[in-house]
Amino acid sequence: MRERPPVAKEEMSESPPKSLLDCRLVIVTGKGGCGKTTVAAAVALGAAQRGLRVALVEMGRDEHLHGLIKPGSAPVGYEGRELSPSLRVFHIDPFAALAEYLGLQIGMHSLVKKSLNQPAFKQLLAAAPGWRELITLGKIGHIENFGRDTGRLTYDLIVVDAPASGHGLTFLDVPRVVQSAIKTGPLQRRARDVEALIQDPERTRLLPVSLAEELPVRETAELIGRVRDDIGTPLDRVVVNRVLPCPFPPDLPRNSDGSDNFESRLETLPRNTELGCLPSPQVLATCSARQRARFELNDHYVRELANRVDLPLVRIGEVPGGIERRSDLLLLAEQLFSDPTAHARNSDPQDEASSQ
């Protein structure tokens, strides 16, 4: 099988960053548990609030986005449903997408659906690699084209909550693999069109989401390396979620070496006070030391990620209790739509903590 040569870095639109609001397609990925689904929901909802017509796409067995966008609402299913003004949410099931595609190609929708529901055919599909990813990407491309024949596209922006990092790479790489194996025919043309969409720097951005922890940082760096070398999807920033704020005020008195001796000062407080319900100075000092260590480790991994990926980082502060309300998503969107180079310029953790 002939391998495609690595994507040259100068071919990838990594500088200057493009506003997410000016993209046609934003693909959000990241290690499971890093908050990528929440980030995708925030981008979509924030864009719709700004007047864009948005399609938000989810894949996988279970649906989650409807609960974030409109808590208490029912799952949207394959046909999708508008959950907020100018925002329609879709859940792409590969079998439904395959049935739709074959129905359009063959023109016999009822026969296609009947054939796909046969157990033997389902077993055959279950063993076939890559078709789910390709047909899902093809459906996303189909959504991107909605309304093109009328001269007015249905959606200004498509936001995709893509699979987690490892599966996300397979998801994005399938068009290349298909074209290496199949040289002609409708499947090859579909793969070519999909690859053109996900590699187009004028239309598309990949938005990796990470955490300031060892494993997510390593996986994010590996993801970006693979994308740069093999896949070519444009990227120009990384979201670092749940970044801890500095636990100490920036005006804390400091020694000549820059240290503040905060824990030592706590331990000098009177042990006996009239407020017996308060923790002892020693307990306060221990808690402070643990919080300091957690913050410093968190900040270490933020800086390591910045060095490894050589991209602007959009730092999202930790939200106590998590994202629970629509207003939380809109506040998150404000941070996601900000200039990522401004985050890079303001990289002092204490300065950022004071602005959170």
Tens-place pLDDT, residues 60-118: 888 999 999 999 999 999 999 999 999 999 999 988 888 888 877 777 667 777 777 77
Compute the distance between CA of residue 305 and CA of residue 154 in angstroms, rounded to an integer.
38
| Range of lowest pLDDT (97-111, 178-192, 216-230, 255-269) | 255-269
Tell me the HSE value of 183 on the side-chain side, using a 13 A CA sphere: 2
Tell me whether residue 60 is in a domain.
yes
Domain assignment of residue 221, given as a range: 9-247+310-355
Whether 2 is covered by a domain: the verdict is: no
330 found inside a domain: yes
- CB proximity list for 111: less than 8 A, separation 6 or greater: none
For residue 349, tell me if it sits in a domain.
Answer: yes
CA 272 from centroid of its chain's CA atoms: 51
In a domain, 261, yes or no: no
More confident residue, 32 or 91: 91
pTM: 0.84
Amino acid at 278: L
Q: Look at residue 10 in the predicted model and tell me its pLDDT.
A: 42
Look over the chain and give the mean of its residue pLDDT values, rounded to a whole number. 84
β-pair partners for 58: 91, 161
- Please check the confidence at residue 215 and state whether its pLDDT lies above 80: yes
Task: Judge whether 262 and 248 are in contact, CB under 8 Å.
Answer: yes
Band of pLDDT at residue 253, cut at 50, 70 and 90: low
Q: What per-residue confidence (pLDDT) applies to 16?
A: 64
- Comparing 255 with 344, the larger pLDDT belongs to 255
Q: Please indicate, yes or no, if residue 158 is contained in any of the structural domains.
A: yes
Domain assignment of residue 304, yes or no: no
pLDDT at residue number 292 = 85
CATH code assigned at 225: 3.40.50.300
Residue 131 lies in a domain: yes
Looking at the 3D structure of the chain, how many domains does it have? Answer: 1
* Phi and psi torsions of 194, nearest 5°: -65, -45
Question: Residue 47 has which token pair?
Answer: 């864009």
